[in-house]
Structure 1
Amino acid sequence: MNTKYSDLINQTYEFPQEEFSVENESLKFHNIPLNELVAKYGSPLKFTYLPKISENINRAKLWFANAIEKNKYKGKYNYCYCTKSSHFQHILHEALKNNIHIETSSAFDIDIVEQLKQDGKLHKDAYVICNGFKRTQYIENIARLINSGHSNCIPIIDNYEEIDLLSEEIKDTFKIGIRIASEEEPKFEFYTSRLGIGYKNIVPFYENQIKDNDKVELKMLHFFINTGIRDNAYYWNELVKCLKVYTRLKKICPSLDSLNIGGGFPIKNSLAFEYDYQYMIDEIINQINVACAEADVPVPNIFTEFGSFTVGESGGAIYEILYQKQQNDREKWNMIDSSFITTLPDTWAINKRFIMLPINRWDDEYERVLLGGLTCDSDDYYNSEQNRNAIYLPKYKRDKPLYIGFFNTGAYQETIGGYGGLQHCLIPQPKHILIDKDTDGNLVTTLFNPQQKSEDFLKILGYKKQEKAQEKNKELITA
């Protein structure tokens, strides 16, 4: 009987895969020997494999180039990175090596853009697409960037008041886009996105506030689907509605020349993951071509905003199984040396699944288990792996350490988890390392941040403030 963990994987999936392989009973991820990583840095451990970011950007560029050539498409393609997926400097620096553009969502994003320009990482002609509901600080920062000469900063209008607010702060003429408030999937608790302007209201909005406004030039229609670009009736139906608005608007607005199709590509969350990226892009380009030809208007330049697709598959987390608790006849709990709530918050908040595999002991017998985190919270667990409800791992043995890895975790987890701040039950943030390649193709690791210490928490909580600083910050409140 085949009872090795390696037999289970080989019988269930096509394995090895492009990014995963096994050598000497140990897992490799993009040819990174993860057991050596653990031996050097210990656990818990977070890592970012930077070359994967550039690889995914260039894959998407190639797919769009193929589709444009195949469909004889006359417009250009522009790849934008959504900074909200991960704002870290090393992420932006890697992404911007590939001649891409930026999409922002809040005021402080503009400060990052200005720093990137100052460091010579972001070109002065790069597009900066400003999404989101714009409060005063965001408006002021956008205006500052445009007033400094960055003419390709395009604020995407989210509500009827934003044009006037921007006009008050921006000195000269400026470009804008309009976001469509798309209808949500039937399973949502509401019908229409809270962001943007409804389909029926966009043309009247243009005619009332933009058409005769000499200060504003409408360049872009922004179409975003919350569930991402997927091959289902809902996505294609919303795209058709978007194209009807675009072609109608284009006939009365000559300056309109760009369509931002928003929404991201899915990333791999299972060893059984299948998604035909090239087919989807071919079909999107074809439908835009057909709709514009039927309406007798020029096709638009295409913009995409890929966040998770850009950075998600670059990240990983490694934990050690500290102990096994047999709580009843059927349930064995493997306890990790960290917390899912704090280090992989999407597993707790939205039941998101990541690829989970053991790092070592692939030739050992396996067993069915549940995974538990260190906090005293009953929700700190992970109980679904790939497409199954059960998790199988090499059998727990006190004298044979077992390490497990979660992969493709590079988007959102750090920012949602409050990187560098307070963590639930004061479980420390793991150390974080960066993995890159040198000019000879050798893997190079760098410690980005050590594991949090108690002093870090005590300072945030107010226990380590200097007495003089406390006195300085006191304010007298009078009636």
Structure 2
Amino acid sequence: MELVKKYGAPLKFTYLPKISDNIGRAKKWFADALEKSDYKATYNYCYCTKSSHFNHVLNEALKNDIHIETSAAIDMKIVESLKKKGKITDDTYVICNGFKRDHYVSNIADLINSGHKNCIPIIDNYEEIDLLSEAIDGKYKIGIRIASEEEPKFEFYTSRLGIGYKNIVPFYNKQISENEQVELKMLHFFINTGIRDTAYYWNELLKCLKVYINLKKICPSLDSLNIGGGFPVKNSLHFEYDYKYMVEEIVNQIKLACDEAEVDVPHIFTEFGSFTVGESGGAIYEILYQKQQNDREKWNMINSSFITTLPDTWAISKKFVMLAVNRWNDEYERVLLGGMTCDSDDYYNSEQHTNAIYLPKYKREKPLYIGFFNTGAYQETIGGFDGLQHCLIPQPKHLLINRDEDGNLTTSVFREQQKADDFLKILGYNE
């Protein structure tokens, strides 16, 4: 409420210390698991930039001796900028995922040709080695992405990203084994639904380990396994997930499979995006008005839009932690939350099967503010930042919250709320 009184609402904020907190938690889980299993290789934490590309996010994350994963051509320009500023060194791994064509290939080649030998392009399809080899001077390292099989509920059977399990060894024999310019270092494994304690996840991991072992036996240079990302972020107050157990079990499964096959265990890489930055973000709105649409449905209208500021709630029905910010001790009522756009999909409900939220009763003379928390991943990049917004609803003011050397909270305005002139200029009215 102090932030609301000082800066107003709607308001978005990024609490930077949470980024370092989560990186530290994950690194400790893996360090403990490696020690417990007597695992004779290293763990490397990567942050996947697509979750949030902002300078303040990368600056905070890179304080923690981590590496990064990129997804597209412009990511590489961000890498160049960070390297010039000394945030990234030649020892930093830059794992290049995604479908690669001219612009992305050229930018990867520029980084490798400049001497950054720890840049590892992850091969996504059969043409990429030829494209990279033409652009890169001398030898370079690569990884191969496994096209994992999706859960049965998906609309398709196999991920569009990567190369099928059965095709990887033949692909290595045909394009890599006798190619003196290329050194295979990494096998990349990623599950779209994330790292979860399900039969599906463990089955896919074991299939991946079989590929790693078969490849390792014919490719001595292969020494790293990237298990991707997918650690979940708390999305409700009753969220439960045993991170420590999952890390220990993953490390244990890798070690058991490799020991049984009598091959060296791989260095482990992860690419945590949402887990790194998700819990650092939040949004605060004011309830402007209440509409009684029938005898059962009361709509509390927020002074912003869910479609523009929290697009995952609209696009994939994602849930975030939602709480009243003030008036906790007042009487509550069952409501629905609506955004200001004219789109019927601009609404939020707590759970899809209950279709309702409980909040302090609306009273015109007693303003009510609500907060959505753990919103730090993807919302700005999906919704669009500082550009056109649906129904021209302005993007909220964005705050950065940090701590100084004495541990005191500090706040600064990263972006002011968009103004009418900003939209008119984009639309060509104000030249």
> TM-score, normalized by length of structure 2?
0.99
Cα 1:189/1:385, change in 2 over 3 Å = closer
The alignment partner of 1:156 has SS state of strand
Counterparts of 1:293 and 1:390, CA distance in 2: 52
The answer to whether the aligner puts 1:82 opposite 2:82 as a matched pair is no
The answer to whether the aligner puts 1:315 opposite 2:281 as a matched pair is yes
The answer to whether the aligner puts 1:61 opposite 2:27 as a matched pair is yes
**Match of residue 244 from structure 1:** 210
Pairwise CA distance, 1:390: 2.3
Name which of 139, 152, 158 aligns with 1:192: 158
The alignment partner of 2:184 has SS state of strand
Name which of 75, 83, 103 aligns with 2:69: 103
The answer to whether the aligner puts 1:204 opposite 2:180 as a matched pair is no
The alignment partner of 1:79 has SS state of strand
Give the fraction of aligned pairs with identical amino acids, expressed as a percent. Answer: 80
Task: List per-residue Cα deviations over 1:57-112 (Å, max 9, x = no partner).
Answer: 00000000110011111110000000000000000000000000000000000000
Q: Map of 1:141-220 to 2, 5 A cutoff?
A: 141-220=107-186
Amino acid at match of 1:201: N
Q: CA RMSD in A?
A: 0.9
Gaps in structure 2 of 5+ consecutive residues = none
Pairwise CA distance, 1:387: 8.7
Task: List per-residue Cα deviations over 1:173-194 (Å, max 9, x = no partner).
Answer: 0000000000001000000000
Name which of 306, 317, 327 aligns with 2:272: 306
Counterparts of 1:438 and 1:389, CA distance in 2: 42
Amino acid at match of 2:197: D
**Contact kept in structure 1, 2:402 and 2:409, CA below 8 Å:** yes
Task: List per-residue Cα deviations over 1:353-374 (Å, max 9, x = no partner).
Answer: 0000000001100000000000
The answer to whether the aligner puts 1:269 opposite 2:246 as a matched pair is no
**Contact kept in structure 2, 1:356 and 1:386, CA below 8 Å:** no
Pairwise CA distance, 1:135: 1.4
**Match of residue 13 from structure 1:** none
The alignment partner of 1:155 has SS state of strand
Counterparts of 1:168 and 1:121, CA distance in 2: 29
**Contact kept in structure 2, 1:355 and 1:385, CA below 8 Å:** no
The alignment partner of 2:147 has SS state of coil
The alignment partner of 1:116 has SS state of helix
Task: List per-residue Cα deviations over 1:341-395 (Å, max 9, x = no partner).
Answer: 0000000000000000000001100000000000000000001259954200000
The answer to whether the aligner puts 1:132 opposite 2:103 as a matched pair is no
Name which of 405, 417, 423 aligns with 1:451: 417
**Contact kept in structure 2, 1:269 and 1:386, CA below 8 Å:** no
Counterparts of 1:442 and 1:383, CA distance in 2: 36
Which of the two has higher C-alpha Rg? Answer: 1
The alignment partner of 1:329 has SS state of coil
Counterparts of 1:114 and 1:220, CA distance in 2: 23
Counterparts of 1:385 and 1:38, CA distance in 2: 27
Counterparts of 2:211 and 2:426, CA distance in 1: 50
Q: Which portions of structure 1, spanning 4 or more consecutive aligned residues, are displaced by more than 2 angstroms?
A: 385-390
**Match of residue 220 from structure 2:** 254
**Contact kept in structure 2, 1:359 and 1:405, CA below 8 Å:** yes
The answer to whether the aligner puts 1:367 opposite 2:336 as a matched pair is no
Counterparts of 1:420 and 1:132, CA distance in 2: 25
The alignment partner of 1:325 has SS state of strand
Pairwise CA distance, 1:464: 1.4
Amino acid at match of 1:294: E
Amino acid at match of 1:451: Q
Counterparts of 2:218 and 2:331, CA distance in 1: 68
Task: List per-residue Cα deviations over 1:271-298 (Å, max 9, x = no partner).
Answer: 0000000000000000000000111100
The alignment partner of 1:38 has SS state of helix
**Contact kept in structure 1, 2:48 and 2:273, CA below 8 Å:** yes
Q: Map of 1:226-241 to 2, 5 A cutoff?
A: 226-241=192-207
**Match of residue 440 from structure 1:** 406
> TM-score, normalized by length of structure 1?
0.89
The alignment partner of 1:180 has SS state of strand
**Contact kept in structure 2, 1:270 and 1:387, CA below 8 Å:** no
Amino acid at match of 2:264: P
The answer to whether the aligner puts 1:348 opposite 2:314 as a matched pair is yes
The answer to whether the aligner puts 1:40 opposite 2:6 as a matched pair is yes
The answer to whether the aligner puts 1:330 opposite 2:296 as a matched pair is yes
The alignment partner of 2:414 has SS state of strand
Name which of 238, 246, 254 aligns with 1:280: 246
Pairwise CA distance, 1:463: 1.1
**Match of residue 24 from structure 1:** none
Cα 1:55/1:192, change in 2 over 3 Å = same
Amino acid at match of 1:72: D
**Contact kept in structure 2, 1:158 and 1:195, CA below 8 Å:** yes
User: Between Structure 1 and Structure 2, how many residues are aligned?
Assistant: 431
Counterparts of 2:205 and 2:358, CA distance in 1: 41
Amino acid at match of 2:117: S
